[in-house]
A and B are shown apart, each in its own frame.
Chain A
Amino acid sequence: MKRGGFKKALALLALPAVFFSASARAEAPRPETFALANGMQVVVISDRRAPVVTHQVWYRVGAADEPRGRSGIAHFLEHLMFKGTPRIPPGEFSKTVARNGGDDNAQTSWDYTSYYERIARDRLELVMRMEADRMRNLRLAEDDIASERDVIVEERRQRTDNNPGAVLGERMRAMLYPHHPYGTPIIGWLHEMRQLSRQDALDFYKLYYAPNNAILVIAGDVNAAEVRPLAERYYGRLRPTRDLPARVWAADPPNIGPMRVSHTDEKVRQPSLTRLYPSISYTTGTGRQAHALDVAAEILGGSETSRLYRALVEDQRIAVAAGAGADSSGIGGGTFTLYGSPSPGVPLDRLESAIDQVVQRFLAEGPTDSELERAKSNLAAAATYARDSQESLAFWYGSSLAEGETLDQILAWPDEIKRVTKDEVMAVLRATLDINSSVTGYLLPPAASASSAP
């Protein structure tokens, strides 16, 4: 769905391995990069297979930069960016793209906000002109604010309030990050969303939307020589913002030991449990820590051959699903997840202790050589598969650069994955799986039906 962007952002954050990877194979083309005089970074990823381009602008600002009490303003502004400029009447941005055979959308994350158009190569100049125009010339009419605010409220209901699992997940993050802005949902808290104003949006826009706070990523049937004159003409003449605010985010107080929360909803028919641990990320980790954490998650719970699935679903048969995941992107750190969904009649606390036993055993004995090799080669292969889609490649480069990685780090990713050692896996996993920093959540049906299982 249009402007359903932030779901996609969450997907990116949840599955870094899929996008995080240029192939190590020699034939993988290296993206071209250059900077404009006003500080805007440009990356061009050539793929000549189809006569189309993917054009994206990534701003180094997201929900984590919102003023306190204005949750959701980054995402609301993302919606309002489609409301026009002196040159583009309200509602005409997307219609103009469509009238030229293209698609457009945008997404908001905690760390970044990005806008994109996909269109025939001979329409690249049109979308660059329009995207550059709205970087500096947004016009907002009061009339457009109220109806669009209703739209984001409906978006919140659709994504979160209608879904008991999402409601629980939002509260678990708020506990995991009691003060850091990652504890605030990207879409915003409902009571604050309802108060967001035109001025809030414009203040945020004026502070952060500038060429020196943006990255241009273009993938598809072009090269840097073709892009450069256009980028200079449309983006190069935009005035940079002096004294962009530093991104300093509030830090969390020390942890107080394991935290637990449960959420009961009439709609829940199947209980489940999730445990979150704060972790390092590709930005906050050093060396190959983040790579090792991705490998660890893959072995522990990334597939149907993983430790958790095999022990709990296949062997003990006490779960219908079980696994682990590393969200290892994030300027402010990542999140490591364990989860399980019990077989009929199995209480959640029994499944929880069984998960703990699998994890403890893995921490004691470590992966086998074949587990390690399988996980590493599968993650690295995702790099080759990602090359099939210019859109995926553009998203992966754009998000990684917006999170502070360099092109060299991105390109080296598959090789670094292959270099991960058993000791690195165990060291980062031991540091991450500290129960005293964790939040465990139970999603439960109403009490009457909780015992109805055979």
Chain B
Amino acid sequence: MLLAAPSEAHAQFRRAAATQTQERGVDVRRVVSPGGVEAWLVSDATVPIIVLRAYWKGGSAAEPQNLTGVTGIMSDMLTEGSGDLDANAWKERVETLNMSLGFSAGWDGVGMSMTTLSENRDAAFAMARTALAAPRFDAAPLARIKRQLEVAIRQRETNPGYIANLALDQATIPGHPYARRAELVTVNAIDRASLVARRAALLARSNLMVTVVGDIDAATLAPLLDSTFGVLPAQAPPQPAIPVADVRAGQPLIVRQLPQPQSLVLFAAPGIQDEDPDWIPLAVANYILGGGGFSSRLMSEVREKRGYVYGISTGPSIRDYSALIRGSAQTENDKVAQAIETTRAEIARFYAEGPTQTEVNDAITYLTGSFALDLDSNVKIAGMVQAYQVAGRPIDYINRRNGLISAVTLADVNRVIRRLYDPAKFSFVVVGQPANLAAQ
């Protein structure tokens, strides 16, 4: 039998995984430029490319209420021309260099992502510098982006994911900045002066974090950090305070009608932040209930046994000032009631009985063993290192993470389940035309 001795195999594998982590861990170095810009660097010359990620704390949640959307537009406009180059000339130059460079706004920060062939390294960093130092914020690209946003705002009216997430935010964190969205009226109010002000409020060195991975060494990187980011002011102005969201639990069922054959179901309960001591046991608990693909209880009960859905999954969902445990599924309108009932019953069973030791062992084996799969390319390593950097983890956390997960006990998992998985705390949102289901 193939599966004759799984437990023995697991034990072996856990040892093997630990050994490999020690032998082949990711070597993250702190590089501080002469001008004081710090980066976390992973050097690997195997593939001749360089991946750079930067992040500035301060995002859409902190933007003025009458200008929602301004952080996103400002971020987009950083790659619409700078210095002597207008938008078209700038984009042609980026293409000629075979590089990519983009900025994106999140709730809590602005991200920058650049990839370049190492042979074009200096020219690529120079393009990043001009985008940061001298964005033109020209009228023509601003008008185009606003026109595109106007269409996107109209299109989201029938986007089930948009409708469901907004309904969930409005029900669980009403009035919080995270429950706001860019609107036509606020987008129309955005002009060049708003972009200039938003850039001045966000892009500085004091709130900057940089991650670099690939074909570059520390000595080469250090002066490039200065030439690229040294153009920014040293200190960001104070950001408006964002209140910590008091997430409401167990809201009445929300149904939003949308003419389509299949409904989207979102469900959520209050969660915890990643600095909470229960964060790691939560990863194990989540894997068992709904995070583990085909191995999860929800996938087994809702998809495999009953065929209600193509997929169902759960996961912790955190923004800097709110934390949820969240799940989603899509099912035929006629089966929504049964799918929700099965999901609720599985959460209740999880809460009442907890997992087995075998489930905990299997979760730990997967979560530790599969970590290397998330670290097999420069792009993936950059994403992981940056996530830990932004989360405030120590620089060697990437090599300690598996040890923390391996140390999780059944008691730890039961504690986090009793703390967070009370079925009464979950709120459900349905978007579609569900049968036999009415909003409460």
Tell me the A residues contacting B by CB distance below 8 Å: 1-2, 4, 25, 27, 47-52, 82, 87-89, 91-92, 94-96, 98-103, 118-120, 122-123, 126, 129-130, 133, 146-155, 157-158, 161-162, 220, 265-270, 303-305, 310, 313-314, 317, 320-321, 341, 343-344, 370, 374, 377-378, 381, 384-385, 387-391
Minimum CB–CB distance from B212 to chain A (whole Å) comes to: 14
Residue in A closest to B362 when the chains form the complex, CB atoms: A99
Binary per-residue interface labels of chain B (298-312) against chain A in the complex, 1 for a CB within 8 Å, 0 otherwise: 011001111111110
In the complex where A51-B24, A270-B151 touch, is A151 in contact with B2 (Cβ < 8 A)?
Answer: no
CA gap between A195 and B366 in the complex, in Å: 37
In the complex where A88-B3, A220-B376, A310-B88 touch, is A98 in contact with B362 (Cβ < 8 A)?
Answer: yes
Binary per-residue interface labels of chain B (36-80) against chain A in the complex, 1 for a CB within 8 Å, 0 otherwise: 000000001011110000000000000000000000000000000
Contact yes or no, B366 A98, CB < 8 A? yes
Minimum CB–CB distance from A6 to chain B (whole Å) comes to: 12
B434 within 8 A of A: no
Please tell me which one of the listed residues A88, A149, A270, A387 contacts residue B47 in the complex, with CB atoms under 8 A apart: A387
Binary per-residue interface labels of chain B (154-194) against chain A in the complex, 1 for a CB within 8 Å, 0 otherwise: 11011010000000000000000000000000000000000
Contact yes or no, B150 A344, CB < 8 A? yes
In the complex where A147-B304, A149-B307, A151-B303 touch, is A94 in contact with B295 (Cβ < 8 A)?
Answer: yes
Contact yes or no, B294 A2, CB < 8 A? yes
CA gap between A268 and B260 in the complex, in Å: 12
Question: Which DSSP category, helix, strand, loop or mixed, fits chain B's interface?
Answer: helix
**Would you list the 5 A-B pairs with minimal beta carbon distance, nearest first?**
A101-B369, A150-B307, A381-B98, A147-B307, A94-B294
Residue in B closest to A95 when the chains form the complex, CB atoms: B295
Residue in B closest to A377 when the chains form the complex, CB atoms: B98
Minimum CB–CB distance from B363 to chain A (whole Å) comes to: 9
Q: How large is the interface on B (under 10, 10 to 19, 20 to 34, 35 or more residues)?
A: 35 or more
CA gap between A362 and B369 in the complex, in Å: 53
Binary per-residue interface labels of chain B (1-44) against chain A in the complex, 1 for a CB within 8 Å, 0 otherwise: 11100100110010011001000100000000000000000001
Minimum CB–CB distance from A321 to chain B (whole Å) comes to: 8
Please tell me which one of the listed residues B20, B304, B332 contacts residue A91 in the complex, with CB atoms under 8 A apart: B304
In the complex where A96-B3, A269-B155, A388-B49 touch, is A120 in contact with B307 (Cβ < 8 A)?
Answer: no
CA gap between A157 and B335 in the complex, in Å: 13
User: What 7 new A-B contacts, CB under 8 Å, besides A1-B313, A269-B155?
Assistant: A52-B372, A101-B372, A103-B293, A151-B309, A267-B258, A320-B151, A391-B377
Contact yes or no, B92 A374, CB < 8 A? yes
Please tell me which one of the listed residues B92, B148, B373 contacts residue A52 in the complex, with CB atoms under 8 A apart: B373
Residues of B within 8 A of A49 (CB): 44, 46, 376-377
Contact yes or no, A133 B24, CB < 8 A? no
Residues of B within 8 A of A303 (CB): 91, 95
B259 within 8 A of A: yes
Contact yes or no, A384 B117, CB < 8 A? yes
Contact yes or no, A100 B9, CB < 8 A? yes
Tell me the B residues contacting A by CB distance below 8 Å: 1-3, 6, 9-10, 13, 16-17, 20, 24, 44, 46-49, 87-88, 91-92, 95-96, 98, 115, 117, 140, 143-144, 147-148, 150-151, 154-155, 157-158, 160, 258-262, 292-295, 299-300, 303-311, 313, 330-332, 362, 365-366, 368-370, 372-373, 375-380
Please tell me which one of the listed residues A50, A100, A151, A370 contacts residue B372 in the complex, with CB atoms under 8 A apart: A50
CA gap between A320 and B49 in the complex, in Å: 33
Residue in A closest to B370 when the chains form the complex, CB atoms: A101
Residues of B within 8 A of A82 (CB): 294
Residues of B within 8 A of A377 (CB): 96, 98
Residues of B within 8 A of A126 (CB): 2
CA gap between A84 and B313 in the complex, in Å: 23
Residues of B within 8 A of A2 (CB): 293-294, 299, 311
Contact yes or no, A390 B13, CB < 8 A? no
